[in-house]
Structure 1
Amino acid sequence: MTHSAHHRPTLAGRILANRIEHARKRAKLSMGELAKLAGYHTSTISRIEACKQGVSRPQLDALVKHLSLSKAETSEVYSLQLRSKERGWWEPFSEHVLPVTPLFVETEQAANRIDSVELQLVPGLLQTEDYTREVQVAEGYFHSETKYQINRELRLQRQKHIFYQEDIPSIRYLLGPAVFVYLNNLPSQIREPQLERIKERASLPEVDIRMLDQLSGANVSFTLLTLDFLGDETGTVLHSEQVGGERMIEERRVVSRYADIFERTFAQAVTLEEYLT
């Protein structure tokens, strides 16, 4: 697990917060009770567990004394605390991205399964540079070449961390018809390379791309990221892009609902090959 969090400080911090919360509940301690035992205010424990503040070494020392951790668990939380202080590969872009982006890209990179619904555009991990530029210009998000280059480099790094590693995660995409409506209306010098990129990725044994050719329960775009070292409670995380910004959701009830929608819809969808013939 600690290897999976290496050079992913935001994710390491989130896992550490999860471990502390789980251990506290296992010890049958309220936040207030743990705070009193450790010598901190209840709001400090609340912010730590909500991952709204990091955990210093002295704080962790005080908490560990009252959490009844095994030797392995103790070693893990100290390792996570150290890793949470590392410099993430995304940090050069940190001033230009949304607050949720670091956690998203690190979770995406560490996931062993990625399930994604995209109704309007080619998913970011499949986009070519020219397609990315075309979309950003059309949406009017960036008004300077500098901002475009920053976003472009971040996207390229995301693709590199997923597709140019030894173990590619299992990836399943559900694409809406509008994805190809927009793509087919682009100039051929943008359209053709992008179509080839989609086919190239679809040919990988780890990647399964399917198309929605009818109305379905999947009426919003979202991504489910599954990690095999987060534990039962937060094994899958939902990333949702909506009006007002992006969100990362771990609440089991919400995640399960989206997972059910994905599985039902994926089973009914046609393969990319069938759709294109």
Structure 2
Amino acid sequence: MSERGSPTLRRRRLGQELRRLRERAELTGDQVAAQLGWSAAKVSRIETAKTSPRKADVEALLETYEVDSGQRQELLDLHRDAARKGWWEDYQSSLPHGYTTLLGLEVEATLARNWEPQVVPGLLQTEDYALEVVRAAQPITRFAQGGVRSRVEARTARQQIIMREDEPLTLWVVMDESVLLRGLGGAAVMRDQLGRLVTVSRQPNIRIQVLPLDAGHPVNTGSFLHLKLPEFRDVVYLESLFDARFVEEEETVYGYEIAFDRLQAEALDVDASRELIKQTIERWK
């Protein structure tokens, strides 16, 4: 389910390459749009992967940029791969657009660095805990009641990327100790969830650290997820109550990398974090 070859990343790469070709041809988006009888917004949406272009659209752009036959075929092959459907697209009608984009990027990421001050990271949630998280958001964000199950299923399917045998995603997590103490769904749900954290923390590709309540808080920020992608610039995913956004500016992304390093430095090490989680399980009995 979490196969490599994400069409989301392919679309981004295609858009990035088309933009590079336009700039090499010394054309503005408005000029290209005028030549092809398109709107400037259409050119922008293709280059930023906000829309999936038709093959005829890509061919028209390549003709305008006078691309040679060899490179043209490479880009048409890239377009073909980008047009394929990812598993997460089955959930598009019930998930926010930003979240489905995240799922597509995660499939090809090699490393995810996640700071969570409020809830257990989605990649580590049990099904029952995920259900409580989704239910808590539903009355506020007001998505359809029928979408609760789809959102939980998508969270569960998402976790295959840290379990796959072929190059599983490396996941580094720092979470605030309050996450372990905040009861979602009652004692039984919390015991199972914390037990899962103990179990997965022993996997070689997963590192879980807890920032204790009595430690200094080095970074005053909400949750963030920093993805390292092969052959593509890093991306930071920021989720708010009603929407999400991706940070791709190199200097800003580097700032988040420094922030995560600070959080790791202040948090308990992996072994001490595991012991604290085990001790907290006892508090939920």
Report the TM-score, using the length of structure 2 for normalisation.
0.82
Q: Which residue is equivalent to 2:202?
A: 203
**CA distance, structure 2, for counterparts of residue 68 and residue 267 of structure 1:** 52
Task: Report how far residue 77 of structure 1 moved.
Answer: 1.9
CA displacement at 1:243 relative to structure 2: 3.4
Contact 1:109 1:162 in 2 (8 A): no
SS of 2:225's partner is strand
CA contact (8 A) 1:23 1:68 kept: no
Match of 2:109 among 108, 111, 121: 111
1:218 and 1:262 in contact (8 A); partners too? no
Query: How many residue pairs were aligned?
Result: 268
Contact 1:239–1:246 at 8 Å: present in 2 too? yes
Q: By how many angstroms is 1:182 displaced?
A: 1.0
Root mean square deviation, CA, Å: 2.7
Cα distance in 1 between the residues matched to 2:112 and 2:153 = 21
Cα distance in 2 between the residues matched to 1:41 and 1:153: 38
The reply on whether 1:57 has 2:55 as its aligned counterpart is: yes
Contact 1:218 1:261 in 2 (8 A): no
Query: Does the C-alpha gap of structure 1 residues 140 and 31 become closer, same or farther in structure 2, counting only changes over 3 Å?
Result: closer
Instruction: Please point out which of 219, 225, 228 is paired with 1:226.
Output: 228
Task: Quote the Cα distance in structure 2 between the aligned partners of 1:39 and 1:137.
Answer: 47
Other-structure match for 2:176: 176
Equivalent-residue separation in structure 2 for 1:227 and 1:236 (angstroms):
6
After the TM superposition, which residues 234-245 of structure 1 pair with which residues of structure 2 at under 5 Å, given as runs? 235-245=233-243
Deviations 1:130-176 (Å, cap 9, x if unpaired)? 21223333444589874332122111110123323411122111101
Task: Determine what percentage of the aligned residue pairs are the same residue.
Answer: 25
Aligned residue among 20, 25, 50 for 1:22: 20
Gaps of 5+ in 2: 277-285
Structure 1 alignment gaps of length 5 or more: none
Structure 1 contact 226–236 (Cα < 8 Å) conserved: yes
Corresponding residue number in structure 2 for 1:191? 190
In 2, the alpha carbon distance for the partners of 1:11 and 1:102 equals 12
